[in-house]
Amino acid sequence: MRNRLVVKADILIIGGGSAGCLAAIRAKELNPGIEVVILEKGEIRRSGSLAMGMDALNIVAVPGVDTPETYVEAAGLAASGIMDQLPSYIMAKRSYALMKKLEDWKVRFTKDEDGNYIMLKIHPKGKFYAAMDEPDLKVILASKVRESGVKVFNRIMVTSIVTQNGQAVGAQGFNIRTGESIVVQAKAVILSSGGCSRLTLPNSGYLNGTFDYPGNSGEGFAMAYRAGAALTGMEYTHQTTLIKDISCPLLYITTTRGAKVVNALGQLLGHGQIAGNLMAEEYRAGRGPVFIDMRGLPEKNISEIEQILFTTERPLQQRFFAQRGIDFRTSPIELYPTEFQLCGGHGLSGLVVNEKAETTLPGLYACGDVASVPRQHLTGAFVFGEVAAEEAVQRAHLSLSNFSETEVVSEEERLFRPFAEEASSPISLHDLEYKARRVIGDYAAPPKNEYKLDQCLRWIDRMKIELATATAQDYHELGKIWEIDAILDCAALSATASKTRKESRWGVAHLRADYPEQNDAEWLKHIDLCRAADGSIAVSTRPIERSVL
């Protein structure tokens, strides 16, 4: 019989990234006596999309600088109208208090000579981008989690959310190092496991060379969908333009400090902040590559950019540029579109949530990139981590549900099937993932059309059959199998939503060649997906909530 660890918790948090850490800390602040458990697939000190440091808190409504109402207007423009206003308003309204809390934790925000926060403009309206200089932000969060008395289980891959009587009551998974099965009974479940960054292939072809955290392979989307929660915005396939071959952030850091964006013909692209769609259009029109050009900037500006990039925002860039002989003072930096991903932080994809971080499945809350609060970035992860905790602690008085041993064993048999003798994979897991993500890029990524999306769904069905024969030599490979399974589920959800939205919206994110125009009259609404009784994807639409503006 397989070794099994059974854990009981008042609140279970799946994912120890930015949102999960804030949820855990806030829950313990509100009720130090409750049992809070985090299941983290990596190691909490360096996990999630944050992983290390950060150069800015993207959304802060600083009193006297800008207002939450202005932010809602700006976010609505960025989301092309497909945005419920109240969650974004709550996020902006709580953002300044959040910033002050981070400062109390010794997180460093950049200020001018008069002691005012340095606020940069990246949004269509207003100034909400607060400069930060904190290379150890993730370590600070992980330390706060430990100090709060939260139980953290690292190297745990969660594969299913357990439900009883239509409510989330826990989760199952396994340790990717030891293979130990884990079962957690909980009164409330907070899902904060990130988006799906490994949807298509990066331009380097390296499977894990993604812009976002490569461990985010969409399991949160997949298991929430299987448990009965609704998802939305899955047709928003997000892509950005970043440093070629390394996919690291650069645009906001450089252009807010005077850098120019030019195409391969030497033509200047716009003025001020450059939209990603504009850069993507240069590639489609054959005027790429696009470059960041810092030649001619004052030495003070270049030194500041180097300080941010080489100490706070992915320090490996210093070695990368040195090995390529690139000096910002004399050489432009080539950019390239990244792989496509599904993400609630940079895009719109994720679980349907309200202003209380509640999903459509009672007992399940969602925050961070797995939740659909459009373009919420790090601020949204922090704020809704706290909001989810504030709601979840109200369930601490409930009794734990008794799990069915038959159902627990059934999930374990499904989970460890790739070790069975009858399993036999004709191709390697690396090749299978490469093939899956290449096909998704061929058929589900923009520009989209009906034929391509239908082909994507057909290929997914075929690759699911292939995956069902896959074998695992160790528990690391077992995790890879279930990551590929989640990627395929996410692609099916995305293709289905993309087929439904018969218009083009969000620039390159949902470009339908067969429906090239944006059509507000018919499609200014959400497209939601949930699992039907027969296992198929059920599609519905939902009106936009406009309670703020």
Question: Does residue 359 sit in helix, strand or coil?
Answer: coil
**Per-residue pLDDT, 429:** 93
Which residues, other chains included, contact 468 with Cβ-Cβ below 8 Å and sequence gap of 6+?
none
pLDDT tens for 348-403 read 999 999 999 999 999 999 999 999 999 999 999 999 999 999 999 999 999 999 99
All CATH 1.20.58.100 domain ranges of the chain, comma separated, are 418-542
pLDDT tens for 87-120 read 999 999 999 999 999 999 999 999 999 999 999 8
* Triad 477, 337, 311: Cα angle to 5°: 75
All CATH 3.90.700.10 domain ranges of the chain, comma separated, are 241-337
CB 530 within 8 A of CB 228: yes
Lowest mean pLDDT among 49-63, 123-137, 242-256: 242-256
Distance CA 431, CA 9 (A): 39
Phi/psi-derived region of residue 341, left when phi > 0, alpha when psi is between -120 and 50, beta in every other case: beta
User: pLDDT-derived band of residue 207, with 50, 70 and 90 as boundaries?
Assistant: very high
Phi/psi-derived region of residue 4, left when phi > 0, alpha when psi is between -120 and 50, beta in every other case: beta
pLDDT tens for 263-275 read 999 999 875 556 6
**Per-residue pLDDT, 124:** 86
Query: Domain 418-542 is of which CATH architecture?
Result: Up-down Bundle (1.20)
**Per-residue pLDDT, 274:** 62
Peptide bond into 124 cis (omega under 30): no
> Which CATH number applies to 241-337: 3.60.10.10, 3.20.20.70, 3.90.700.10, 3.40.50.620?
3.90.700.10
Distance CA 237, CA 224 (A): 19
Is the predicted pLDDT of residue 423 greater than 70, yes or no? Answer: no
Angle of helix 450-467 relative to helix 475-500, nearest 10 degrees?
160
**Per-residue pLDDT, 264:** 94
Pairing of the two strands 36-39 and 231-232: unpaired
Distance CA 328, CA 153 (A): 43
Does the pTM exceed 0.75?
yes
Question: Does residue 57 sit in helix, strand or coil?
Answer: strand
Q: Which of 244, 253, 249 is nearest to 204 (CA)?
A: 244
Distance CA 8, CA 202 (A): 40
Q: Which of 124, 79, 167 is nearest to 358 (CA)?
A: 167
Distance CA 158, CA 47 (A): 15
Is the predicted pLDDT of residue 427 greater than 80, yes or no? Answer: no
pLDDT tens for 449-497 read 999 999 999 999 999 999 998 999 899 999 999 999 999 999 999 999 9
